[in-house]
Structure 1
């Protein structure tokens, strides 16, 4: 029993020390922007490829910080009582709305990435609603190198399925840009393609070999390029070079087996910093006009 006491102290000491913090980030400047109790909302003109044709639509990116539960991977109701279970995350909600023929698509992606702790995203969800039915995917971080996921689908071939992914998440890259582009893993990576891409392609949830690079386009703009080794998919995200690294546009290219390319593209049209969750009255609808929202 005497030997157990020092071990207990060591465990508690390690817990108190916490995990490695992100470096190369001025968290005073960072906090002044992201911890002001508001969200950043950006609207985008969207061209989304579906069923082999380009569809005009609208995209929205919502970035906001939240107090998150390490254990449950949900937003905390009472952060002050959570103790070490509380972790600060940057949440991205991405929505895409477009029409295919007579019926509409409503798609949403969420990503939750620790702000100060040097870690990849903790949780990712994606949903898709259209007149045929709806699907929901959730992926949770298991350890430093793997994720566990579940898919709930109205398609018989997919059904309710569970899967494990060894690697990182493409959908994490959006948050890492906003935290600081220096946090993006460069070079060769093992990465799971976006959950929205998985939904539209119905491909298996498997990490693939890819290559990531960052480049400066001009004095004010930079670009992150993700190219999959298969040659069938790439992602480009263009953002402002200086903090807070706002995203200006993105492009997804899917190369078909016959060499034809389907390019989904989104370009920012408006941005607003606002506590949108408090703006739910009829009199607040003018804010949609300021964001140039159509859907």
Structure 2
């Protein structure tokens, strides 16, 4: 009778005892840590990337092409700007403000000489900064010029996929228009490192290879599997070996290993070296693949880095500023 009359009371006491045992009462719970702020919202990030200047980097380049190594130079320009999400172009009018997001843009220039003639490759990548509504890189465009002719490819994020449009003087690539399933773009990795290297994917991943690499090797863009690793030891070893005279901080290596499937996807390895501390400067990279039945490694090694509002320095007198970049 006692149990029947006091059943609810007994249940409540047992529930309280269980909660105490499991440390589940409001007095026993561990305080909830506040969410880690996005690096893009920090004062240091905004001071560096929204201070009215671009970051300019020059690199000594060793480029594999035609089964041999060739010398050249590479340039990375990082700058923020407002970007229209509807037309996927730079916002330049007041009317565009309501349809724009801030992006980090990479301009990646690569120039090298093969025998008597030269190559020039130029890639632009537009990645939104801290925008939950637009988490994907919105656009990549790449042009290539050499003495035989020139080519162009553009990749636009649309309808949860990437629309690829290409034009080339090569017969097999003269007109290309196709869709690639959504995946991380290799071309955006430079931006992702600068924005937040802690979010770089590791393990088994799918990526769309870089547009410059695809053009040089005459490969169609597609999402392919790779293994991604992040390694501090390799980052330090790389800088000690390849840029011993350049002042850089501790570095990490982000390594992508594309496996040879024996069919349409040849093996290829890409390694990006960057400083561990903000602003995560890119100090170099290398790319290993087969060229004319030889396994060769292209490599870019940092020479100089400066910040500049370069768009305001376009007179003949400003050409002396190129010396600061060893150009």
Number of the residue aligned with 1:139: 155
Match of 1:159 in 2: 174
Q: Is the 8 A contact 1:120 1:172 kept in 2?
A: no
Q: Indicate the RMSD between aligned Cα atoms, in angstroms.
A: 1.8
2:183 maps to 1:148: no
Q: How far off its partner does 1:289 sit?
A: 1.1
TM-score, scaled relative to structure 2: 0.79
Equivalent pairs counted in the alignment come to 270
Aligned counterpart in structure 1 of residue 211 of structure 2, from 183, 186, 195: 195
Separation in structure 2 between the aligned mates of residue 100 and residue 257 of structure 1, nearest angstrom? 14
Q: Decide which moves more: 34-43 or 177-186.
A: 177-186
Hey, what does 1:54 align to over in structure 2? 69
2:271 pairs with 1:266: no
The one-character-per-residue Cα deviations of 1:24-60 (angstroms, maximum 9, x if unpaired) are 5553211110000110000000001111110000000
Cα–Cα, structure 1 residues 51 and 216, in superposed 2: closer, same or farther, change >3 Å?
A: same
Cα separation, 2, equivalents of 1:39 and 1:243? 16
The alignment's TM-score, normalised by the length of structure 1, stands at: 0.87
The Cα shift of 1:98 comes to 0.6
Structure 2: runs of 5 or more not aligned: 1-35, 237-248, 261-265
Q: Which moved more, 1:207-216 or 1:62-71?
A: 207-216
Distance, in Å, in 2 between the alignment partners of 1:288 and 1:25 is 30
> Residue 233 of structure 1 corresponds to which residue in structure 2?
268
**Mapped partners of 1:34, 1:149: distance in 2:** 29
Aligned pairs for 1:95-174 within 5 A? 95-118=109-132, 119-144=135-160, 146-166=161-181, 167-174=183-190
Cα distance, 1:257 vs structure 2? 9.0
Q: 1:163–1:205: 8 Å Cα contact kept in structure 2?
A: no
- The alpha-carbon deviation at position 196 of structure 1 amounts to 0.4
Give the structure 2 partner of residue 94 of structure 1.
108
Question: Where does 1:273-284 land on structure 2 (aligned, <5 Å)?
Answer: 273-284=307-318
Shift of 1:256: 5.9
Q: Secondary structure at the match of 1:205?
A: coil
Report the counterpart of residue 55 of structure 2 in structure 1: 40
Summarize the Cα distance change of 1:36–1:158 in structure 2 as closer, same or farther, 3 Å threshold. Answer: same
Judging changes above 3 Å, is the alpha-carbon distance between structure 1 residues 47 and 257 closer, same or farther for their aligned structure 2 residues? closer
Q: Greater CA deviation, 181-190 or 162-171?
A: 181-190
3-state SS, counterpart of residue 196 of structure 1: helix
1:237-248 → structure 2 map (5 Å cutoff): 237-248=272-283
TM superposition shift of 1:22: 8.1
- For 1:221, the equivalent position in structure 2 comes to 251
Tell me, what secondary structure is at the counterpart of 1:212? strand
* Native 8 Å contact 2:124 2:142 kept in 1: yes
**Contact conserved, 1:232 with 1:256, CA < 8 A, in 2?**
no
Q: Which runs of 5+ in 1 are unaligned?
A: 1-20
